[in-house]
Structure 1
Amino acid sequence: MLKEFVSLYQNEFQETLANIDVEKLEQLCRLLEETFAKERNIFIIGNGGSAASASHWVCDFNKGVSFQRPKVKSRFYSLADNIPTITAYGNDTQYDDIFMEQLKVLSNPGDLLISLSVSGNSKNLLKAQAFGESQKMITVSITNSQANELKSGSDLAISIPSENYGIVEDCHMYICHVISQFIAKK
């Protein structure tokens, strides 16, 4: 039974990877490189597994891309990492504000905000994105292939052509690894 499931999952994952819009990945790569060059901040957000992926992006870009390369200053921050801050905002305001309130304190115009989401409809991501737009931040979303609010409000929307949450989250990491390794090898 497991063998059949593994085969089905692998087939869907490979098909999904084959159908990711590489031009959008190139656009994201350019945005990241421009943001590094201008020494602007990059904030990444997500919930659940996407929050864990956001932390992994920070590691791969801050260490993997910048380590021993003094000309590349990756200023990547996951707003899902500071549990005391998240719980304070969640308790004192509402959970929907946990990322937006951090952006109010940390962000500047021209910074980059990347939202990782399976559904693309999480209120805390949407509020952060709306705030980012109001502050002239550049917004990127990486979500599933369905129409969703996050995608429709992003400056750059990358659609993962799958409805399987595991495959969408796998692709979040695939995109991180492809782009960070590409930049690191330049």
Structure 2
Amino acid sequence: MSEYIRNQILGIADNFKALASMAGDIEQVARICTDTLKSGNKIMFCGNGGSAADSQHLAAELVGRYKLNRPAMNALALTVDTSILTAVGNDYGYETVFSRQLEGVGRPGDLLVGLSTSGNSRNIVLAMELARRMGVRTVALTGRGGGEMKEVAEFCIAVPSDATNNIQEMHIAVGHLVCELVEREIYGG
């Protein structure tokens, strides 16, 4: 069992070494987030399952704090309101749970960040298509290849893995880096 654990950890380390080659892409997403917040707009996150949890996590880092004690930043996760999710899912279909919310709270200049390990989550793809029509910027965090989200998002970081757990590990690392860069750019430190 120890050998298995060791090999898993080394595999994770290899994934992160490959992710380092995407530093420029991560910087670009941090700039998009910073520009969104500096212009008085908000960042909205969405995802399913573990990616929903990551969406909430990243929104919390911006509203609360990541490393710096500073004012709250304008961010929210579209994954948290069970009444909206279940009502929209029941009345309109699960594929609309994010686009329906976006229609209500999104404004031109806002940013929608969609997290999906496959890049093919229909509810996120539909939200990104609507976002583009509304003048809401879009960033996708996906696994290798990017799936359909790569085609509809303004910008996509397709992390170098096909394994769901490894993709999610890299998504949260990318998200943490972005949060830190945004904090530093807006509030110093």
Which bin holds the TM-score, normalised by the shorter protein?
A: over 0.9
For residue 45 of structure 1, give the secondary structure of its aligned residue in structure 2: strand
Q: Give the equivalent residue in structure 1 for 2:89.
A: 90
Given that 2:46 and 2:55 are in contact with CA atoms closer than 8 Å, whether structure 1 keeps it comes out as yes
When residues 15 and 67 of structure 1 are mapped into structure 2, their CA distance, relative to the original with a 3 A threshold, is: closer
| Secondary structure, counterpart of 1:103 in structure 2 | helix
Per the alignment, residue 76 of structure 1 pairs with 75
**TM-score, length of structure 2 as denominator length:** 0.91
Aligned to 2:54: 53
Change (3 A) 1:6 1:15: same
Rounded to whole Å, the distance in 2 between the matches of 1:37 and 1:111 is 11
In 2, Cα distance between equivalents of 1:126 and 1:61:
24
How many residues align? The count is 183
Matched with 1:41 is 42
Following the alignment from structure 1 to structure 2, what is the Cα–Cα distance between the partners of residues 179 and 134?
Answer: 25
- Structure 1: unaligned runs, 5 residues or longer: none
Query: Displacement of 1:182 after TM fit?
Result: 3.3
Question: CA–CA distance in 2 between the matches of 1:160 and 1:66?
Answer: 24
Give the distance between the partners of 2:78 and 2:62, measured in 1 at CA: 15
In the alignment, is the contact (CA less than 8 A) between 2:118 and 2:147 conserved in 1?
yes
**In 2, Cα distance between the equivalents of 1:126 and 1:133?**
11
Pairs within 5 Å for 1:12-51: 12-20=11-19, 21-51=22-52
Q: Which amino acid is the alignment partner of residue 53 of structure 1?
A: D
How far residue 67 of structure 1 moved from its aligned partner, in angstroms, is 6.7
CA RMSD of the aligned region, Å? 1.6
Equivalent runs, 1:91-170 vs 2, <5 Å: 91-170=90-169
> Amino acid of the residue matched to residue 25 of structure 1?
I
CA distance in 1: counterparts of 2:143 and 2:84, whole angstroms = 28
CA distance in 2, matches of 1:87, 1:42: 23
2:177 counterpart SS class: helix
Question: C-alpha distance in 2, partners of 1:66/1:137?
Answer: 28
Distance 2:60 2:151 in 1: 28
1:155 deviates by 0.8
- 3-state DSSP of counterpart to 2:118: coil
Distance across 2 between alignment mates of 1:118 and 1:148: 9
Change (3 A) 1:183 1:147: closer
Residue of structure 1 equivalent to 2:10: 11
How far apart, CA to CA, are the structure 1 residues paired with 2:44 and 2:182?
Answer: 18
State whether residues 31 and 182 of structure 2, in contact with CA within 8 Å, keep that contact through their aligned partners in structure 1.
Answer: no
In the aligned structure 2, how far is the partner of 1:35 from the partner of 1:66? Answer: 20
In 1, Cα distance between equivalents of 2:182 and 2:112 = 19
Distance in 1, matches of 2:146 and 2:85, equals: 28
Q: Describe the shift of the 1:106–1:147 C-alpha distance in structure 2 as closer, same or farther (beyond 3 A).
A: closer
